[in-house]
Amino acid sequence: MTITEAIKEAQKIGGEITRKSFGETSDSWITFLPTNSINGTLIMIHNDKKDKITPRWEPKLEDLIAEDWETRR
């Protein structure tokens, strides 16, 4: 799905978005949480030990036009 479709779906389910092409391992993965705050879209780095949150993700053009976005809870 597109990034817009993924964001709308994530809002409905209270989830985050990611791209299939980002890949993930059994112990780490990255998701994004779009917000209306001054922090912008948050980068959520998850791993089996702890999660890290970083503000202000700046997507590349390829991210904005990609169609491999999905939601995660």
Residue 19 to residue 1: CA distance in whole angstroms? 9
Query: What residues make up the domain containing 26?
Result: 3-72
Region 6-18: mean pLDDT is: 97
Confidence of residue 27 (pLDDT cuts 50, 70, 90): confident
3-class DSSP assignment, residue 13: helix
Region 19-45: mean pLDDT is: 91
Burial 46-57 (b: 16+ CB within 10 A, else e): beeeeeeeeeeb
Q: How many domains does the chain have?
A: 1
The residues pairing with 54 across neighbouring beta strands, listed in sequence order, are 43
Region 14-39: mean pLDDT is: 91
Q: What is the pLDDT of residues 52-62, one digit of tens each?
A: 999 999 999 99
